[in-house]
Amino acid sequence: MEMPLRYGCNPHQRFARLVIDDAAPLRVLNGAPGYINMLDALGAWQLARELKEATGLPGAASFKHVSPAGAAVAAPLNDAFRRSQMIPEGDLSPVATAYARARGGDRMCSFGDVAAVSDEVDADLARLITREVSDAVIGPGYAPEALELLRAKKSGSYLVIEIDPGYEPPQREDRDAFGFRLEQDRNTARIGPDIIKDVVSQRKDVPDDVIRTLIVATIALKYTQSNSIGLAYQGQVIGMGAGQQSRVHCTRLACGKAEKWLLQQHPKALGLRFREGLGRPERTNVVDQFLLWDELSEAERTATLAQLEEAPEPITPDERQEWVFGFDGICLSSDAFIPFRDTVDRASRTNVQYVLQAGGSLRDEDVTAAADQYGMVMIHSGMRWFLH
C-alpha cells in the first residue's frame, strides 16, 4: 500500500508518502493526511488500544507532536470536571468519556490534537470532537451518524482514519537517520498489574484503583518521547513531562501541569466570569493565566482582565496547597529509574502518593528514603520504557 501525504514535517519538504508492505490495514475516510498527522495517529492508536487491552475499559489518547498530551480510560464525569472542561450536561457513552478525560488532561497541549479511541466512534464522541480544535481522529470504526458529523468538521477537511483493530506490525522495525538505517525489535512488552510487584517503601498498600491508574500512566509513557514523567489520577493522565534531558525537569513539567488540572476545578477558577462571546480556546487560555496570576506581568494581567467581566480573586498559596492536598490517590510513573531524590521532593509538593519507577539507580536507597519521608508508596517495576 502506498499513500501520498501532503508534505513532510515541514511544507518545504515537498515529497512525503506512507508505505505499508502488507495489505492495507487503514483507510482515510475523510480529509488528506500529512506526515505528522500519520505519526501522531499511529502513536495515539497504539496507546488507546493498549489501554483497552490492559484495563478492559475503552481507552483514548490525545496526541500532539508525537507524544500524548493526555490519555485515559472511560469513567463517569463529575460536575467539577465537566464545568472545568466546558462540557455540557448529559449522559455520554463510555468511549466519549474516555476521550473527554484524555483531552481534559491538558486542554492547552491538546489544542489541534489527533484523537484516538480503542472503540467505535459513536455520535456522542463525534459531537465532542466537533466542538474542539482538533486535526484528526483515528479509531477502529465509525457509526454512520458519527461519520457524517466528522465529515462536516473544518469545512469538510477534518481527517478521519479507520484502522483494522486486529492489525499487528512486523516484530522488527527500522528507521533511517542521515542515510543510515537502524533496526530493532518492536517494543511489545505488556504493561499490566504484574509490574506492581516490588514495593520497596515502608508503606506497602496499593489499592486496585491505584494499580489501574499506574498502568494508565505507564502505558502513556511507553508512547511518550523520553525522558518522561507522567502524573495520573483515577485512570487519567493529568500531567505529562516529555522529552527533557533531565528527569527532574520532566517532573517539574508534569507536576506543574497536574497542579493546573487540579486547580481548574477550584471554586475560584470555576467562578470566573468570561466576556460574552469569548470562545472556548480563549477561555482555556484565560484560566491558565488566572492560575499563574502571581507570576504574571502587569501587561499580562491587563490582557487577561480584558477578557473577563470582572477582576478575579486570585487563589492564595495556602488555598492552592489545601486544594491540591484534598485529592487522594495521585500517582507518578517514570519511564526509567529515578536517579536522585529531587524528583520525589518535587512530586511531594503536588501531593503524589504513589510512585512507579524502574529501579536500579546507584541512589535507590536515597530515593526510597525520600519516599518514606513523605509517606509515599514506592514501587520498582524493573522495566524501562524509553522512546526515541
% of the chain surpassing 70 pLDDT: 100
Q: Which positions ≥6 away from 285 have C-beta within 8 Å?
A: 108
Per annotation, catalytic residue among 37, 52, 64, 153: 64
Please confirm, yes or no, whether 65 is among the known catalytic residues. Answer: yes
pLDDT of residue 197: 85
pLDDT of residue 141: 98
Determine the average pLDDT of the residues in 264-269: 97
pLDDT tens per residue, range 113-123: 999 999 999 99
pLDDT of residue 383: 95
Q: Which CATH superfamily is domain 189-262+323-380 in?
A: AICAR transformylase, duplication domain (3.40.140.20)
pLDDT tens per residue, range 357-388: 999 999 999 999 999 999 999 999 999 999 99
pLDDT of residue 1: 77
C-alpha cell at position 166: 486486529
* 134-139 and 113-117 strand pairing: parallel
Q: What is the pTM of this model?
A: 0.95
pLDDT of residue 271: 96
Please confirm, yes or no, whether 222 is among the known catalytic residues. Answer: no
Lowest pLDDT segment from 21-30, 159-168, 375-384: 21-30
- The Cα 325–Cα 318 span in angstroms is 11
CATH topology of domain 2-163: Cytidine Deaminase; domain 2 (3.40.140)
- The Cα 190–Cα 194 span in angstroms is 10
Per annotation, catalytic residue among 227, 260, 285, 351: 227
Determine the average pLDDT of the residues in 327-354: 98
Q: Write down the domain spans for the chain.
A: 2-163, 189-262+323-380, 267-314
What value does the mean pLDDT of the chain take?
A: 96
Residue 20 has pLDDT above 90, yes or no: no
pLDDT tens per residue, range 39-97: 999 999 999 999 999 999 999 999 999 999 999 999 999 999 999 999 988 899 999 99
What are the angstrom distances between the C-alpha of 64 and each of 43, 94, 110, 220, 312?
10, 23, 7, 13, 31
Please confirm, yes or no, whether 10 is among the known catalytic residues. Answer: no
Domains 2-163 and 267-314 share a fold: no
Compute the C-alpha angle 169/170/172, nearest 5°: 130
Please confirm, yes or no, whether 266 is among the known catalytic residues. Answer: no
CATH topology of domain 267-314: Helix Hairpins (1.10.287)
DSSP output for 221-248:
HHTSPSSEEEEEETTEEEEEEES-SSHH
